[in-house]
């Protein structure tokens, strides 16, 4: 038995397929726009609250009640500070936790690791296709700045390496004050990346 398909049916099918693909493209572009906008707004709000926290911790003139409320709200949200790498023009807010939402918006402080200024290993995680993409161009001896409500801390990159995802030793406690940044590798890999890019920096006194 021979199946005959009319040209009109094929034409209509192709038209509907085109409409579906266009709709999918619009939805994806809309989601990307939402994610970028949400991240930008969140970063600005957290950065403003960080400045208020720093002003309060340094005993600058007392803020108004609205500013004080913002300070308390920022502390409850787990605001850690602001990470900057001057040579790469990277500046990003850091908050507590590495949930999917946090890493879409900012860089996350890995729970259980030290905080800036404390002895030990400060662990940070970020996405390779967003805030931590510039880490691919990082070099040994590069300067890293970490501004927190407790003060400013400076680090110098001492090593760059690739490890397996289950190599948790990179986050092990350290006797000195070190900073470890973790992201997926390779940077341009399509799909879940098989390795991890590890940046280790040591705190220095300027």
Interval 2-8 mean pLDDT? 64
SS3 assignment for 38-80: HHHHHHHHHHHHHHHHHHHHCCCCCCCHHHHHHHHHHHHCCEE
Q: What is the pLDDT of residue 52?
A: 83
Question: Tokens 């940077």 — which residue?
Answer: 187
Q: Could you please report the per-residue DSSP string of 144-188?
A: EEEEETTEEEEEEEEEEEEE-TT-GGGGS--SSEEEEEEEEESTT
Interval 162-166 mean pLDDT? 94
Higher pLDDT among residues 191 and 73, named by residue: 191
- Residue 155 pLDDT greater than 60, yes or no: yes
Q: Which residues contact 204 (CB under 8 A, 6 or more apart)?
A: 154, 155, 156
Q: Tens digit of pLDDT for each residue in 102-135? A: 999 999 999 999 988 888 999 999 999 999 999 9
Q: Tens digit of pLDDT for each residue in 29-85? A: 776 776 677 778 888 888 888 888 877 765 544 444 454 455 455 555 689 999 999
Cβ(83)–Cβ(94) below 8 Å = yes
Domains in the chain (CATH in brackets) are: 27-204 (2.40.260.10)
β-sheet bridge partners, residue 123 = 180
Q: What is the pLDDT of residue 90?
A: 95
The confidence band for 164, taking pLDDT boundaries of 50, 70 and 90, is very high
């Amino acid at each position: 038995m021979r199946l005959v398909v009319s040209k009109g049916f094929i034409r209509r099918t192709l038209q509907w397929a085109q409409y579906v693909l266009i709709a999918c493209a619009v939805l994806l572009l809309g989601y990307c726009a939402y994610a970028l906008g949400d991240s930008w707004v969140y970063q600005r709000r957290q950065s403003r609250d960080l400045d208020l926290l720093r002003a309060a911790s340094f005993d600058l003139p007392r803020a108004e009640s609205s500013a004080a409320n913002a300070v308390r709200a920022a502390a409850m949200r787990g605001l850690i500070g602001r990470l900057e790498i001057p040579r790469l023009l990277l500046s990003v807010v850091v908050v507590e936790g590495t949930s999917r939402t946090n890493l879409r918006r900012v860089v996350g402080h890995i729970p259980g690791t030290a905080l800036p200024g404390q002895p030990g290993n400060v662990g940070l995680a970020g996405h390779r296709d967003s805030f931590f993409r510039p880490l691919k161009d990082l070099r040994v001896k590069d300067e890293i700045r970490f501004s927190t409500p407790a003060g400013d801390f400076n680090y110098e990159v001492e090593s760059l390496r690739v490890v397996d995802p289950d190599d948790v030793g990179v986050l092990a406690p350290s006797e000195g004050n070190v900073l470890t940044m973790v992201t997926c590798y390779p940077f341009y890999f399509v799909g879940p990346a098989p390795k991890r890019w590890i940046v280790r920096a040591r705190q220095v006194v300027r």
